Amino acid sequence: MSQPPEPDQPPSPYEPPPGGQQPPYGQSPGEQYGQDQYGQQPSSEHYGQPSYGQPSYEHPGQPPHGQQWGQQPPYAPQGPYGQYGPPSPQQGGGGTNVLAILSLVFAFVFAPAGIALGHLAKRQLRTSGEEGDQLTTWGLALSYIFTGLYLVACCGWLALVIWAGSPGTNT
């Protein structure tokens, strides 16, 4: 059985209040007896005077402009269904174009692919506003140079095979 609280101690929050009454929803048992949830008497802030560190307002008892005490600030407006975050601007550049980088890389790996990627990157750079025009130019130039060297090497090798296999030369 619970005993009534002593005069100098607040009632226990774990025991029902005397008389079997429950405090209103959202209110702790101590608040029902003029105390806050920690068992202390209300400060001067409850009487219209701000406590130390609290902002003061021209009209005591009025909430700050635009917001009530205890309420969350309003959420930002949500975009249309299926989109994430705020819409991004169409113009304005967002870094280096990926195809520009790939055209430079493929100039050394497989030059004909570097040519194709370079021309695609040039077309994208005209419309998107991204960076990478100089990378694309270097990728195209190196791709054309290496493709020309590959063609010269292949034609030279083919000419050597044909010349070595012809029956007219005896040495």
Give me the pLDDT at residue 75, please: 72
Of 169 and 160, the structure prediction assigns the larger pLDDT to 160
Across the range 22-49, mean pLDDT stands at: 54
Query: How many Å apart are CA 140 and CA 106, to the nearest integer?
Result: 10
Q: Residue 69 carries which DSSP code?
A: T
The residue that leads in pLDDT, 12 or 34, is 12
Q: What is the pLDDT of residue 144?
A: 97
Does residue 80 or residue 134 have the better pLDDT? Answer: 134
Give the separation between CA 58 and CA 77, rounded to whole angstroms. Answer: 32
Judge whether residue 126 has pLDDT over 60.
yes
Q: Model confidence at 129, in pLDDT bands (50, 70, 90)?
A: confident
Residue 166, pLDDT > 80, answer: yes
Q: What is the pLDDT of residue 94?
A: 73
Instruction: Report the helix count and the strand count for the chain, using DSSP H and E.
Output: 4, 0
Q: Would you say 13 and 33 are in contact if contact means Cβ atoms under 8 Å apart? A: no
pLDDT at 40 over 70: no
Residue partners of 128: CB distance under 8 A and separation at least 6: 93, 94, 97
Higher pLDDT, 114 or 66: 114
For residue 107, is pLDDT > 80? Answer: yes
pLDDT value of residue 53: 57
The rounded distance, in Å, linking the Cα atoms of 149 and 131 is 29
Q: Which two tokens stand for residue 86?
A: 């705020």
Q: How far apart are CA 58 and CA 168, in angstroms?
A: 112
* 46-105 pLDDT tens trace: 555 555 555 555 555 555 555 556 777 677 766 667 656 655 555 555 789 999 999 999
